[in-house]
Structure formats: C-alpha cells, structure tokens
Amino acid sequence: MTTSPIGIFDSGYGGLTILHGIRQLLPQYDYMYLGDNARAPYGSRSFEVVYQFTRQAVLKLFSMGCRLVILGCNTASAKALRTIQQRDVPAIDPSRRVLGIIRPTAEVIGSITTSRHVGLLATEGTVKSRSYELEIQKLFPDIQLSGVACPLWAAIVEANEADSPGADYFVKKRIDQLMRLDPDIDAIILGCTHYPLLMSSIVKHVPSGVRIVPQGEYVANSLSDYLVRHPQIEQTLTQGGSCQYFTTESEEKFKESAQIFLHETVNVHHIDLD
C-alpha cells in the first residue's frame, strides 16, 4: 500500500514546533515535513511571492502522496492559505485538503482572555496581513487585538541564541512595546512558530497574570477534531507512525537546526521546489 502521510510545510524550522505538538497527540499517523529553508524567512516577503512559494511546496507534497497538508507557518497561513484553498485545490484535486494554523488559535482565544484584550507577537508579514484580527473578529467580535512585529526573534532562534542576553533584550523590548499599546492585554498569542523556543525569556518579561498562547497544542487538538469530523479525509491517511523530513537547503544545516527544535537527530533529504 502506498503511504499517505500528513504533510506539514514551513518556510523554515519553526513548523517543527507544530509537527512536534501534532505528533505528541497523534503519533499513529505517517508524517512528511518540508522546510523551504533555502528561501526562508518568508516574514517580510510580498503576498504574491509567499503564495507562489507556498503553492510550489503544497504541489510537491501532493505529488509525494500527501492528501492533507498543514501550513505550519503563520506567514504562509496568513498570505497564501485562502487562495490555495479556494483556487488551487479545487482545480488540482477537490478531495485533498490544505489547512492553516491561524484559525485553530483564533478559535481558542475566546476561552483564554477575560479582559477581551489580546496581544499578538509575530513576523511583520503576519501582523500586516491582519489575518489574526480578521479570524478573531469573525468568532469573537468583542475581542480587541493589538499586534507587534518581532523581526529578529526567528533569526535569534535559528542562530541557537535563544538563551543569550541579546535575545533577552529583544524579547523584553517587543513585549514592553506591546503592553504600552494596550495595558489591558491579558493573553498574548505567539504568532510565529519559532517563538516557543524563546519561552523562558518571554515568561520573564510578560506582566503577571498575562497568559501566553503558543500554537502547537491548539493546532494538534484542532487537527484531531477535524479528522473526527471528516472521516472521508481521515480514512485516506496511513498509520505507520513514521516521519520523513525534506529541506530545500543543506541537509547538514537542517539536521543541526532540527536538533534545536526537536532535541533529536533526524534523517533529512534535499529537495527542489522550483
């Protein structure tokens, strides 16, 4: 039988935190992770470029047997997901699915905030797209969202500098900026999959009583619920508990960085998208 894994795509390594959360909850399925590390980061790229790159990755995962692909990247979810869902998938194969990671986070935020004032720390592209704001407004019109872009945070994580004094400085700077924008914030969404690796520093600088909302756990719960509600998709997935890794960059570099995110050594294969 041919394998039909769940595909998880990210521009870089951050999606490994999403993959980890999903595999913790749903270890039985087969997975395929694709990082477009050669062209990362996507955060400051235009909508059109992010869409084209993401579309290439989705088509590649489809061609490798994935019938369900998760964009484990906030920028791709913000800038490319809707067009791929509405325009590309119906033309390619209506039985396939592409899901993002912004809506699952938006769905839970209503039960986390009491003040109805929520903060967002994310890349410039995600903040400017207003995707979180739009998703949250649809579900919880009473919630007010304030966002701050953190341009250096992902680079700090990928350089394995998350515990450095420099990282601490930049984390404090952006959290202070966010809390000045709206002192009533009582929940902060980490709207970039790299940011959980800065958690020790984030927790230190967030005012007491403010909840931090990383995405991995919520995306995993949402996926589990989705598969229960869509048995026709779930039945196409194979359950061998395997995970394959692919990168558009150097295999050695991916192995090194994956160690930072997963604390384990992975086998990875080089792949071209264009």
Q: Active-site residue numbers?
A: 73, 192
Q: Rounded to the nearest 5°, which phi and psi values hold at 113? A: -90, 135
Q: What distance in Å separates the CA atoms of residue 198 and residue 192, rounded to the nearest whole number? A: 11
Look at the alpha carbons of 68, 24, 261, 239 in this order and tell me if their dihedral is positive or negative.
negative
With beta carbons less than 8 A apart as the criterion, state whether 123 and 41 touch.
yes
With beta carbons less than 8 A apart as the criterion, state whether 85 and 63 touch.
no
Token pair 């791709």 is found at 76
**Burial class of residue 64, CB neighbours in 10 A (0-12, 13-18, 19+):** middle
Listed residue (86, 109, 106) closest to 97, CA to CA: 86
Query: Residue 249, SS3?
Result: coil
With beta carbons less than 8 A apart as the criterion, state whether 145 and 133 touch.
yes
Q: Rounded to the nearest 5°, which phi and psi values hold at 121? A: -110, 120
Maximum Cα interatomic distance, the chain, rounded to a whole number of Å: 56
